[in-house]
Amino acid sequence: MSSSPEIRILTTPQELFEAAAEEVVHGATQAVTERGRFTIALSGGSTPKNLYTLLATNARASLPWDKMFFFWGDERHVPPTDPDSNYRMVDEAMLSKVPVSPGNVFRVPAENPTAAAAADAYERTLRDFFSLAPSEVPRFDLILLGMGPDGHTASLFPGTAAVEERSKLVVANWVEKLKTYRLSFTLPVLNAARCVTFLVSGTDKATVLQSVLEGDAPGEQYPAKLVRPTDGKLIWLLDRAAASALSKKI
């Protein structure tokens, strides 16, 4: 039974990133203590970049980098050298600066010209890493997510096929308004996690955030609303600007 979301409103974006860094350190410490390793799926976009920078600097000494395994919740259909690549963003902000062995980093093979083939390959990577049986879904220790002004999360955009997907773990999702494919985890993977943490910053997210957290519109209209871990924690880390339309204030 999914627990009710924890909504934390931080005064500034910097405080939001510090709170997120604490969640990563806490999650990593607990996972390594209980299971010997920490599996994390990273989000892309612009918001989490400062978190990754913090993890590679202030929080660096507090993290068990050799027992951490990195994945991406979604990726743009571009090579890892492309300025739009989520992998490249994370590598530049964090992975290239910390003692992580390449064997612990599982990026989406988005350079594959066939998006569906890239998605299938990444699904195989998940199935192999987590030693999954055919019907099983991987259980990440932590999945970081962002949210777009349209209520999309990962690359599950409103009105796209991927929002309905319930058997595949990773899909190539055609996003008409972007005229491109995106590679994305599906809802079954997001909702199987031990902890999902959203980072949402900025006034441009305020209206949709109010709809997602307090409105009664259907989840298909705002896919971020469909993220409800079945047996895990759901945390929304918001800055004051993003939370400005919520009835709950700080």
Closest approach of ligand 6PG to the CB of residue 32, in Å? 26
160 binds ligand 6PG (CB under 6 A): no
Query: In this complex, which beta carbon is closest to ligand 6PG, that of residue 47 or of residue 197?
Result: 47
Q: Does 153 bind ligand 6PG (CB under 6 A)?
A: yes
Binding ligand 6PG (rule: CB under 6 A), the pick from 24, 41, 154, 212 is 154
- Nearest approach in angstroms of CB 149 to ligand 6PG is 8
Contacts of 135 (CB under 8 A, 6+ apart): none
Q: Footprint of ligand 6PG on residues 31-50 (CB under 6 A)?
A: 43-47
Residue with tokens 């929304």: 236
Q: C-beta of 162: minimal distance to ligand 6PG in Å? A: 12
CB-wise, 64 or 188, nearer to ligand 6PG? 188
Minimum CB separation of residue 206 from ligand 6PG in Å reads 13
Give me the least distance between CB of 196 and ligand 6PG, in Å please: 13
* Ranges within 84-113 binding ligand 6PG (CB under 6 A): 86
Nearer to ligand 6PG, 67 or 168 (CB): 168
Report the nearest approach of ligand 6PG to the CB of residue 73 (Å). Answer: 6
DSSP annotation string for the chain: -PPPPEEEEESSHHHHHHHHHHHHHHHHHHHHHHHS-EEEEE--SSTTHHHHHHHHTTTGGGS-GGGEEEEESEEESS-TTSTT-HHHHHHHHTGGGS---GGGB----TTSSSHHHHHHHHHHHHHHHTT--TT-----SEEEE---TTS-BTTB-TTSGGGG--S-SEEEEEEGGGTEEEEEE-HHHHTTSSEEEEEE-SGGGHHHHHHHHH----GGGSGGGG---TTSEEEEEEETTTTTTSS---
**Alpha carbon 218 to chain centroid, angstroms:** 21
Residue from 23, 74, 123, 239 touching ligand 6PG (CB under 6 A): that is 74
Q: How far apart are CA 245 and CA 133, in angstroms?
A: 44
**100-108, 146-154, 172-180, 230-238 -> range binding ligand 6PG (CB under 6 A):** 146-154
d(C-alpha 155, C-alpha 174), whole Å = 10
Point out which span in 114-122, 145-153, 163-171, 186-194 binds ligand 6PG (CB under 6 A).
145-153
186 binds ligand 6PG (CB under 6 A): no
Shortest distance in whole angstroms from residue 217 CB to ligand 6PG: 19
Residues that bind ligand 6PG (CB under 6 A): 43-47, 74, 86, 146-148, 152-154
